[in-house]
Copies of this chain bind each other. A is one copy, B any other.
Amino acid sequence: MVVTRFSRLQHLLLLQPRFQQSRVLRHPLTRTPTLIRSVMGSSSSSSSKLLFRQLFEKESSTYTYLLADISHPDKPALLIDPVDKTVDRDLKLISELGLKLVYAMNTHVHADHVTGTGLLKTKVPGVKSVISKASGSKADKFVEHGERVSIGDLYLEVRATPGHTAGCVTYVTGEGADQPQPRMAFTGDAVLIRGCGRTDFQGGCADQLYESIFTLPKDTLIYPAHDYKGFEVSTVGEEMQHNPRLTKDKETFKTIMSNLNLAYPKMIDVALPANMVCGLQDLLPSQPN
Seen from chain A, the residues whose Cβ lies within 8 Å of a Cβ on chain B are 29, 31-34, 36-37, 40-48, 50-58, 70-71, 86, 89, 93, 96-97, 229-233, 238, 241-242
Do the beta carbons of B96 and A36 come within 8 Å of each other? no
Closest residue to A53 on the B side, CB-wise?
B43
| Given A29-B33, A55-B230, 10 further pairs, Cβ under 8 A | A32-B48, A33-B47, A34-B48, A36-B48, A42-B46, A44-B46, A53-B231, A53-B233, A55-B232, A86-B230
Closest residue to A241 on the B side, CB-wise?
B96
Do the beta carbons of A96 and B230 come within 8 Å of each other? no
Do the beta carbons of A56 and B232 come within 8 Å of each other? yes
Which chain B positions have C-beta within 8 A of A54? 232
Cα A40 to Cα B99 with chains together (Å): 13
A89 partner, pick from B33, B40, B230, beta carbons under 8 A: B230
Cα A48 to Cα B42 with chains together (Å): 7
Do the beta carbons of B89 and A238 come within 8 Å of each other? no
Do the beta carbons of A44 and B45 come within 8 Å of each other? yes
Do the beta carbons of B43 and A51 come within 8 Å of each other? yes
Do the beta carbons of B48 and A40 come within 8 Å of each other? yes
